[in-house]
Amino acid sequence: MSLTRKKSLTALLAQAASGETSLKRTLDAKNLIALGIGAIIGAGLFVRTAAASAEAAGSAVTLSFIVAAIGCAFAGLCYAEFAAMIPIAGSAYTYAYCTMGEMVAWTIGWALILEYALGAATVSIAWSEYLNKLLGGVIPYEWCHSPMEVSPDGVHGIFNAPALLILLLLSLLLIKGTEESATVNSIIVFIKMAIVLLFIGLGWQFINPANHVPYMIPEGTAGHEDFFKFGWGGVLRGAGIVFFAFIGFDAVSTAAQEAKRPEKDMPIGIMGSLAVCTFLYISFAHVLTGIANWQEFKVAGKEASVAYAISKYMPGYEWLATMVTVAILAGFSSVILVMLLGQSRVFFSMANDGLLPKVFSELHPKFRTPYKSNIILFVFVGLFAGFIPGSLAGDLTSIGTLFAFIVVSIGVWMLRRSDPGRNRPFRTPLVPLVPILAVVVCSAMIIGLDQFTQMTAGVWMLLGFVVYFTYSRANSKLNLS
């Protein structure tokens, strides 16, 4: 059994047209753009901006967002070609299966668990923290923390009830239907977009130009001796940190099998959501680092950085800090929703191919959603969110996504060479230049991340290989072909 055996495009398209295994097509371009914005604007904008600024980039965190956006734009063009040509659930996993073979496809599918399932759990824990903050701390410590956490007063956590609650509500919404989920997501997107624009508009008048001088962290700054913590090196590491903020447009491609007109809607949804959020990110970062000096974020608390800047430097606008907390909650909610959606669709495709148990591909007889997969995911993600501290960095989520971007970019180039006559409703421009640039920029961001993140991701991938060789390889449906 070859590790490079591929699934044909003809078989993939036939699978999408199958009545029994086909998801319901209910999403248009506007839904997909909102889906992307829903996943993109969340923890990244409100938390990672200050983290990247304090740790590596300083005021030049705006340049970090530009670097990350350039890498995403190159990869996004490659995603758009695949998503329009192969409107199948599964995103990078599916694309790799028909270009580089089963082993690479499995590797990508396993890496995407870091992005979606682990990301959803981590964000739900943060959601719980911000909810309690908004409510003035009325939730007892033991009911919003894991058993592994102890308060300064010696109170032991029991389980994180709010995190489980938001996961349950969003899982039930996904089971009910993608169209309903998209509608709720669109409402959430409108709320948080309004608050983000409000912060940018009101905060612009409080910018102190002195906070942007020097723009990059100078060499020799205390605590920033490492090459990736000052100057352009710091900008690059900052790009790897804020990259967590861009993972949403990748999730758009997982819904390709539910798009009404995938050949048109997918490119618009992917590139549209990326363009909107890049503009907002650069503007937001410029205002935040202009209101408060980047060095203050080292001690002010990365999670509370925006509220800190408003409270200290924007007198009379304390109410905006509360609104930002509401926006953060809304942002976290939509991020969790899209991550759970993306993970269930990747599992749906992997189960259809025999690489995971069939239960992950079984559809609800009425709603036509992979409801059993959503239930299993709720249990798995809920156990993590309810009983494990939320100390896992978003960098681990970023590295899984960057790896997927690299594989998709290589896949576009390979398929252009191996099957040039295939109908492509959307064509990535300047191939192979665009895919090569995507690989270079994304690889640079991986290199810029810390070694612990790189090693942890490596251990996770080794575990995935064990699963593949003990179960997936033998149960692959390609064994029957």
Q: Taking residues 351-366, report their average pLDDT.
A: 88
Q: CATH number of the domain that 152 lies in?
A: 1.20.1740.10
146 token code pair: 């894991």
Cα(289)–Cα(58) distance, rounded to whole angstroms? 8
Cα(233)–Cα(239) distance, rounded to whole angstroms? 10
Q: Taking residues 188-216, report their average pLDDT.
A: 90
Look at residue 23 and tell me if it is in a domain.
no
- What local confidence, expressed as pLDDT, does residue 120 receive? 86
Query: Do 199 and 320 touch, CB atoms closer than 8 A?
Result: yes
Cα(52)–Cα(235) distance, rounded to whole angstroms? 9
Look at residue 24 and tell me if it is in a domain.
no
Cα(35)–Cα(42) distance, rounded to whole angstroms? 12
Look at residue 8 and tell me if it is in a domain.
no
Residue among 14, 7, 21 at smallest CA distance from 411: 7
| Domains contained in the chain, number | 1
69 token code pair: 């956006």
Look at residue 5 and tell me if it is in a domain.
no
More confident residue, 391 or 263: 263
Residues 392-424: pLDDT tens digits? 545 667 787 788 888 889 989 988 988 888 888
pLDDT, averaged across the chain: 82
- What local confidence, expressed as pLDDT, does residue 272 receive? 86
Taking the CB of residue 99, how many other CB atoms lie within 10 A of it? 26
Cα(219)–Cα(227) distance, rounded to whole angstroms? 8
Cα(273)–Cα(34) distance, rounded to whole angstroms? 7
Cα(401)–Cα(465) distance, rounded to whole angstroms? 18
Look at residue 99 and tell me if it is in a domain.
yes
- What local confidence, expressed as pLDDT, does residue 165 receive? 94
DSSP string, 382-412: HHHHHHS-S---HHHHHHHHHHHHHHHHHHH
Q: Above 70 in pLDDT, residue 446?
A: yes
Q: Taking residues 345-369, report their average pLDDT.
A: 86
Look at residue 451 and tell me if it is in a domain.
yes
Look at residue 7 and tell me if it is in a domain.
no
pLDDT bucket at 256, cuts 50 / 70 / 90:
low
* 3-state secondary structure (DSSP) of residue 294: helix
Look at residue 287 and tell me if it is in a domain.
yes
Query: Do 93 and 113 touch, CB atoms closer than 8 A?
Result: no
Buried b (16+ CB within 10 A) or exposed e, 453-466: beebbeebeeebee
Percent of the chain residues topping a pLDDT of 70: 88
250: enclosing H helix or E strand? helix 248-254
- What local confidence, expressed as pLDDT, does residue 393 receive? 45
Domain that holds residue 427: 29-217+224-480
Least confident among 305-319, 381-395, 422-436: 381-395
* 3-state secondary structure (DSSP) of residue 150: strand
